[in-house]
Each structure stands twice: as structure tokens, then as C-alpha cells.
């Protein structure tokens, strides 16, 4: 019987990656990043990749490994700070970066997955982001005509998704802010591979609580030895916070 | 006397209203989270996919799956909800967020904002700033009035690449507060920091502005 479950990220990706492909990868900073799949992408050695994601990893983490291995030609992202290799390759012209406003990037992926070739947004009108793009007036939030920019939907050859739990059908549930770009990317890849922390029995996930229905997910991999990284650990000491009653 | 960073944050906090959904940028705007008046219900939105942001976690209780848009570890509240980036920016683009308070590099008298790139320097990206200024109903910018070099940041036109055109409603600096009619393309001085004269303000401002009748000028 056909099963979506693969025993490792390497097997799930085996024979699927070719030079020049477009890869989407979920995550915001280091949160909700499919790290095993990214390491399998590095091991594939495929070159000239176009990578779509909010960030491109950061020093020593996530997609940074694929970048450091000279496999990426172009990046679509909204923020690429804290990444020295990307900085130097961008400044030297070795890598092309297409900066997208974060919401425009999210909506382009959502649209791509939903079969919508293009949409209009007010975001970026009158800025570099709108250069060379069609603009058009529509009624704005308060009914007065405003200028909008046409943005196109995005799809990928392969989409990497990081979820918390999956069942064998491929139904997915995400955890807290690790959801971010993952649900949209799950709809926008020709091949969608979900890396999860736990694979549960069918029926264990409440049908009403499923975030990504299994129809979108082709392959499932149980992530190995989860060590989640924190980019900026911020805490408050107990006594002081209680005394001051601070919110932050 | 100029306003301190704490005083600028306190002035920005006066823009909060009961029931508001609010997005705060990094820097001085983040401090506004500590200044929500008792008894006022304000829900903080984090554009990476959370409404109802709580305080930083206690030591040893940080959760790698729970961060804000500045990638800092935070906590949830009983009323917190999580959602995707597409839903999060739907809230922003769709005008469901009442107020955004963010920093700026330059603001023009017509309400243009530049805060994401300096030509010739490494571009890190705009993140969610372009979406926020284009979609949030009221946009408040908090910034120093001048650069360290003394160059004015409130200008006739922004020199730096724009984050949004005609998007700023209120500008709070360490010297003054300006209300901007972004449709009319005109700014009005509504408050001056104590001890700052109009002449001193004008000498540090390139933008043209009207003076509110409520401001009794000595």
C-alpha cells in the first residue's frame, strides 16, 4: 500500500532534486525550520537553486548550510540579516536576491498554491518593490480610490514544510509561532515534504483542529533528534519582573 | 530640553485606545508595550503569526517555537491566538490592525516613510514594514529629529528609498510632534518639547509645516 511516510529526509528527497530547481522552505528566523530536509538538500549537491523563504537561515543555521555549499543562485526573501556569507555573495554579485515585503511574499505563496496567478496589493506602491510592475486603482479601505501593485503567485518544484505533528494521511498541525510560512508552502510545491516532530495514529488529530489537510502533503519525514535553536533568548528574572509588574 | 527615548515612548503610548489591536516595531516602539494604561484592553500583534503577545519568559522557560517578529523569545496570554503568515498579513493588509508604531530613517511632509535601506550598504530587507505602513489604519513613526551628523530627517522629500508613499499619520521626534494629512500631503506641528523654540525646530527641519492653532506660541 502506498505510504507517505519515509524513513529519512535523504530517502524522501532521493532522486527528486535537480540543478536549477526552485525550492520553498518554511520558517521565520530559526522558528519552524525543516532542518533535516535542508541538510538532505545540501547532501544532494544540486546547484543553481532558487530558494524561496522569509529568511535564508542565519550564520550556521538552516538554509545557510546550502548557501555555504555554493548551491544557491537566487533567493526570494523578506529579510536576510545575520547571514555573513549571503551578505558577501550578494555584495559581490554571485547571488541574486529578490526582496519581497513579508506579507506580499506570504500572499504570493498562498495565491500560487490556490491557483491564483496574480493579485493586487497596496503594499510597496511608490517604492522600489513596485518598479516595472503593473499598477491600478481600486477603492481603498475607506472607499476612496487608491493605487495597488500587481504581484504574481509563486509555486516551487519542491516545498519543505516543518510541522509539529502529522498522521499517515499527511494531516498536519503546527505549534505556536513555528507555523508562519509553512501552511502556505504546503500548498505551493509540486512535491511537498513535511518534516515533523511526531507521527501519530490516524484519528488522533482532531479533524476540526487540522491546520494543513493531507491532500497537500506528498511525503512525511520524522525529524531526527530535535534541538531547536533560539536566535535571541530574552528572559526576565522572576523577582524583578514580579515586583515591577512589567509586560516586557 | 529634548524629549528622552522614554518620553518619546510615553508620547507614542498616548495614541493607544481601549480595544485597539496594535503592532509595535523594534526600538523605542517596543517600549510602548510596557506603557499600556491599567484598565485599557490592547492586544499586541506580532506579524510572524500571533495576537496577544505576552512578556518575556522567565529564565529557563523560553520556548523556541514562541518568538516575536524581532525573533525574541516571548510568552502567550490566555487570550492568545496563533495563525499563518498569510493570515497575519491579511489582518494587516485588510485594515484590521488599528495602530502601528515604528521607527524611521526619514519622513517627508507628505507622509512618505523611508526606513529599510541605505544605498551602498548591505540591504537586509524590508521584512513586514512595507505591509504594515500600507495596511494599518493609523501609522505613527517615532524617530530622532536629526541624524547624528545633524542632518534633518523630517524632509520635503525622502532621499532614501521609500518604505511607503503617503503612509505616516503622526511623527513623534525628540523635539516635536507633527500630525500629517497624508491625503492632503501636508504636515502640522501639534506639540513642541519643553524649552524647544519654533526657531530652533525650524533650523533642524527641512520639511515645511503649518502650526496648529492650539499651540500658543510665545
Q: What is the CATH number of the domain that holds A185?
A: 3.40.1080.10
User: What grid cell was written down for B107?
Assistant: 519622513
**pLDDT tier at B6 (50, 70, 90 boundaries)?**
very high
Provide long-range contacts, Cβ within 8 A and 24+ apart, for A239-243.
A241/B55, A241/B56, A241/B58
Range of the domain at B64: 5-211
Which among B52, B96, B88, B92 is positioned nearest to A54, based on CA atoms?
A: B88
Q: How far is CA A143 from CA A119, A124, A137, A146, B186, in A?
A: 19, 19, 11, 9, 21
Identify whether B218 is part of a domain.
no
Per-residue confidence (pLDDT) for residue A239, from 0 to 100? 64
- Put simply, the answer to whether B71 touches A29 (Cβ < 8 Å) is yes
Which pLDDT value is given to residue B114? 98
Task: Indicate the number of domains in chain B.
Answer: 1
* Among the partner residues B61, B85, B92, nearest to A184 by beta-carbon distance: B85
Asked whether residue A35 is assigned to any structural domain, the reply reads yes
Residue B47 lies in a domain: yes
* Mean pLDDT lowest among A90-94, A152-156, B213-217: B213-217
Q: Which residue has better confidence, B189 or A243?
A: B189
Indicate the range of A68-72, A169-173, B166-170, B212-216 predicted with least confidence.
Answer: B212-216
Answer whether residue A244 shows pLDDT above 60. Answer: no
Q: For position B66, what pLDDT does the model report?
A: 97
Q: Is residue A218 part of a domain?
A: yes
pLDDT at residue number A141: 85
Mean pLDDT across A17-25: 98
Largest CA distance in chain B: 56
A77: containing domain: 5-114+130-222
CA distance A56 to B13: 35
Let me know if residue A156 belongs to a domain.
yes
Task: Indicate whether A243 pLDDT > 50.
Answer: no
- Say whether B134 and A107 touch across the interface (CB within 8 A): no
Among residues 70-99 of chain A, which lie with CB inside 8 Å of chain B?
77-81, 87, 90-91, 97, 99
Cβ count within 10 A of residue A73 = 15
Note the ipTM here. 0.96
Return the sign of the alpha-carbon dihedral for residues B67, A194, B129, A79.
positive
Is B191 in CB contact (< 8 Å) with chain A? no
A167 within domain boundaries: yes
Chain B contact for A217 (CB, 8 A cutoff): no
C-alpha cell at A217: 502533503
CATH of residue B47's domain is 3.40.1080.10
- State whether A78 and B86 contact (CB < 8 Å): no
Residues of B recognised as catalytic: 47
- A119 close to B (CB below 8 A): no
- Residue A230 lies inside a defined structural domain of this protein: no
Instruction: Tally A–B CB contacts below 8 A.
Output: 203
Q: Is residue A240 part of a domain?
A: no
Query: Of B185, B147, B153, which Cα lies nearest the Cα of B169?
Result: B185
CA angle at residue A56 from A53 to A60, to 5 degrees? 145
* Matching residue, cell 506602491: A125
Contact A23, A67 (CB under 8 A): no
Nearest CA in chain A to B91: A103
Query: How many structural domains compose chain A?
Result: 1
Is it the case that residue B200 has pLDDT exceeding 60? yes
Amino acid at each position: 500500500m502506498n505510504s507517505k511516510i519515509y524513513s529519512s529526509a535523504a530517502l524522501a528527497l532521493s532522486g527528486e532534486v535537480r540543478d536549477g530547481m526552485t525550492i520553498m522552505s518554511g520558517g521565520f528566523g530559526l522558528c519552524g525550520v525543516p532542518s533535516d530536509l535542508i541538510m538532505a538538500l545540501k547532501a544532494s549537491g544540486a546547484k543553481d537553486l532558487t530558494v524561496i523563504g522569509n529568511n535564508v537561515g542565519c550564520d550556521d543555521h538552516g538554509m545557510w548550510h546550502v548557501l555555504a555549499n555554493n548551491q544557491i543562485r537566487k533567493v526570494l526573501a523578506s529579510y536576510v540579516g545575520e547571514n555573513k556569507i549571503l551578505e558577501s555573495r550578494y555584495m559581490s554579485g554571485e547571488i541574486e536576491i529578490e526582496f519581497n515585503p513579508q506579507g506580499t511574499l506570504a500572499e504570493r505563496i498562498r495565491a500560487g498554491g490556490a491557483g491564483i496567478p496574480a493579485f493586487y496589493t497596496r503594499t510597496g506602491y511608490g517604492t522600489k518593490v513596485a518598479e516595472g510592475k503593473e499598477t491600478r486603482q481600486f477603492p481603498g479601505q475607506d472607499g476612496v480610490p487608491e493605487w495597488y501593485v500587481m504581484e504574481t503567485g509563486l509555486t516551487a518544484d519542491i516545498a519543505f514544510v516543518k510541522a509539529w505533528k502529522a498522521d499517515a494521511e499527511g494531516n498536519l498541525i503546527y505549534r505556536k509561532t513555528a507555523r508562519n510560512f509553512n501552511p502556505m508552502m504546503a500548498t505551493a510545491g509540486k512535491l511537498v515534504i513535511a518534516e515533523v516532530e511526531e507521527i501519530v495514529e490516524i484519528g488522533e488529530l482532531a479533524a476540526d483542529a487540522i491546520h494543513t489537510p493531507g491532500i497537500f502533503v506528498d511525503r512525511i519525514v520524522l525529524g531526527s533528534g530535535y534541538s531547536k535553536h533560539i536566535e535571541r533568548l530574552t528572559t526576565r528574572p522572576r523577582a524583578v519582573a514580579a515586583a515591577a509588574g512589567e509586560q516586557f | 530640553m529634548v524629549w528622552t527615548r522614554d518620553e518619546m515612548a510615553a508620547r507614542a503610548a498616548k495614541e493607544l485606545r481601549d480595544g485597539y489591536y496594535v503592532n509595535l516595531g523594534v526600538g523605542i516602539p517596543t517600549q510602548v508595550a510596557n506603557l499600556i494604561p491599567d484598565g485599557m484592553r490592547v492586544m499586541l500583534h506580532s506579524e510572524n503569526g500571533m495576537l496577544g503577545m505576552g512578556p518575556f519568559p522567565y529564565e529557563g522557560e523560553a520556548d523556541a517555537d514562541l518568538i516575536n517578529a524581532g525573533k525574541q523569545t516571548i510568552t502567550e496570554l490566555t487570550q492568545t491566538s496563533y495563525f499563518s503568515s498569510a493570515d497575519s498579513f491579511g489582518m494587516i493588509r485588510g485594515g484590521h490592525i488599528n495602530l502601528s508604531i515604528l521607527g524611521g530613517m526619514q519622513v517627508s511632509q507628505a507622509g512618505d516613510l523611508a526606513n529599510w535601506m541605505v544605498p551602498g550598504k548591505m540591504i537586509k530587507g524590508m521584512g513586514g514594514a512595507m505591509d504594515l505602513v500600507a495596511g494599518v489604519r493609523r501609522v505613527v513613526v517615532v524617530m530622532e529629529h536629526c541624524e547624528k551628523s545633524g542632518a534633518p530627517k523630517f524632509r520635503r522629500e525622502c532621499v532614501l528609498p521609500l518604505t511607503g508613499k503617503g503612509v505616516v499619520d503622526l511623527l513623534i521626534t525628540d523635539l516635536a510632534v507633527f500630525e500629517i494629512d497624508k491625503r492632503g500631503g501636508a504636515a502640522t506641528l501639534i506639540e513642541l518639547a519643553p524649552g524647544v523654540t519654533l526657531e530652533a525646530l525650524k533650523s533642524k527641519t527641512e520639511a515645511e509645516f503649518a502650526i496648529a492653532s492650539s499651540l500658543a506660541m510665545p
